[in-house]
Amino acid sequence: MQERKPKVSVIVVNFNGKPYLETCLRSVINQNYSDFEVILVDNDSNDGSVEYVRQNFPDMCVVVNEKNLGYSAGINKGIERAKGEYFAPLNVDTEVERSWLASMVQFMEANPDVGAVTPKSLLYRNRDKVGVMGLKVHITGLGFVIGYSKEDSKLPKEPFQVAAVSGSSFLIRRDIVEQMGGLNEDNFMYYDDVDLSWMVNLMGYRIYCVPDSVIYHEYELGVSAQKLFLLEYGRWSSLICYLKVPTFIVLLPFLVLTETLMMGFCLIRGTGYIRAKMRAGVAVLRSVGKLMRRRRQVQRLRRVSDFSIVRRRELNYDWGQARLIMK
């Protein structure tokens, strides 16, 4: 009996990534998987990216946005044109191995209770070391990458469950995305992967890292002031939208501790970080009406309790990663 090959829509979101386009797109086109399409979504680049793709990849579907909509909204624009049963968003500053798609699809087809998977991401310029193998998430919503800068040979080779995909590359079922009404465009970038994964878990699906699927990503661990703003806005938005009130109350002491640690981090890093943290809080307060409307929407899709999600979250902080960020 011939193995089923569901169609996959690869969605590459680009913003001024012209230096990466040739390597990224050629590696995607060279997949050993038979049924897929590639959609490039350009977020108003001014570096000639669109012209380059149209000249060198004339058959590729190109979606051109009139302004930079961010990563999640960019993916949504690609989804509007996508025909696949699976969506595979991908950062432009990546190169993928030939079995990248096939390995993820094979695992998803064999495990219908898995809603999304993420590949093993190795460092673009040091390919013996891991960039990320999915994310672990603290009970207060902080996301930490799994495996950063560790030797690839020492990390798991078999698929394992994770709390969240890495936004740089993942595979998700079309019907899940359609049920949730697309990705949450309120997350411009950075926290989009934790937010999406939280929603997938809330709907009763598991998430896995599939190490046989490999990409190389131009990635360096770090938090700028602007990134902190986006991360903190996304984290508190998700806490408001996804947690039931009793859960929020139970987690309140941990939330206070995390806020204290975050303010300490900001004080060490300087006034730019303090302002970013405060701006995030103000932005959340100004968005309460919008967040409550989203809360009602996502709670209608809930299939599992907060406890079933939180019990798989991290109780301890990743201090090793925190030290790397502080350097």
Q: Give the pLDDT of the chain (327 residues) as one tens digit per residue.
A: 456 789 999 999 999 999 999 999 999 999 999 899 999 999 999 999 999 999 999 999 999 999 999 999 999 999 999 999 999 999 999 999 999 999 999 999 999 999 999 999 999 999 999 999 999 999 999 999 999 999 999 999 999 999 999 999 999 999 999 999 999 999 999 999 999 999 999 999 999 999 999 999 999 899 999 999 999 999 999 999 999 999 999 999 999 999 999 999 999 999 999 999 999 999 999 999 999 999 999 999 999 999 999 999 999 999 988 888 876
List the domain range (segments joined by +) for residue 318. 225-326
Asked if residue 56 is part of any domain, the answer here is: yes
Which of 166, 187, 217 is at the close of a domain? 217
Instruction: Identify the pLDDT of residue 324.
Output: 82
Q: Classify residue 53 as exposed, middle or buried by CB count within 10 Å of its CB (0-12, 13-18, 19+).
A: buried
Instruction: Identify the pLDDT of residue 323.
Output: 84
Asked if residue 190 is part of any domain, the answer here is: yes
Asked if residue 184 is part of any domain, the answer here is: yes
Cα 167-152-101 angle, rounded to 5 deg: 45
Residues 145 and 250 in one domain: no
Asked if residue 2 is part of any domain, the answer here is: no
* Cβ atoms within 10 Å, residue 276: 22
Residues 201 and 87 in one domain: yes
**What Rg do the C-alpha atoms of the chain give, in angstroms?**
19
Asked if residue 1 is part of any domain, the answer here is: no
Residues 207 and 157 in one domain: yes
Residues 209 and 238 in one domain: no
Helices (H) and strands (E) in the chain, counts: 12, 12
Q: Count structural domains, the chain.
A: 2
Cα 142-295-190 angle, rounded to 5 deg: 35
- Strands 206-217 and 114-123, by their bridges, are parallel
Asked if residue 3 is part of any domain, the answer here is: no
Asked if residue 176 is part of any domain, the answer here is: yes
Residues 33 and 172 in one domain: yes
Residues 186 and 313 in one domain: no
Residues 205 and 301 in one domain: no
- Strands 114-123 and 171-173, by their bridges, are antiparallel
Residues 107 and 239 in one domain: no
pLDDT in tens, 114-167: 999 999 999 999 999 999 999 999 999 999 999 999 999 999 999 999 999 999
Instruction: Identify the pLDDT of residue 1.
Output: 46
Which of 195, 217, 239 is at the close of a domain? 217
Residues 103 and 78 in one domain: yes
Residues 12 and 59 in one domain: yes
Residues 6+ apart with CB under 8 A from 298: 180, 199, 202, 241, 242
Residues 206 and 230 in one domain: no
CA separation for the pair 16, 19 (Å, rounded) = 8
Segment 63-66 long-range contacts (CB within 8 Å, at least 24 positions apart): 63/39, 65/41
Residue 39 in tokens: 């959609």
Asked if residue 159 is part of any domain, the answer here is: yes
**pTM score of the predicted model:** 0.95
Which of 217, 234, 249 is at the close of a domain? 217
Residues 213 and 229 in one domain: no
Q: Classify residue 279 as exposed, middle or buried by CB count within 10 Å of its CB (0-12, 13-18, 19+).
A: middle
What is the CATH number for 64? 3.90.550.10
Instruction: Identify the pLDDT of residue 2.
Output: 55
CA separation, residue 293 to residues 281, 299, 300 (Å):
19, 10, 11
Cα 145-322-270 angle, rounded to 5 deg: 125
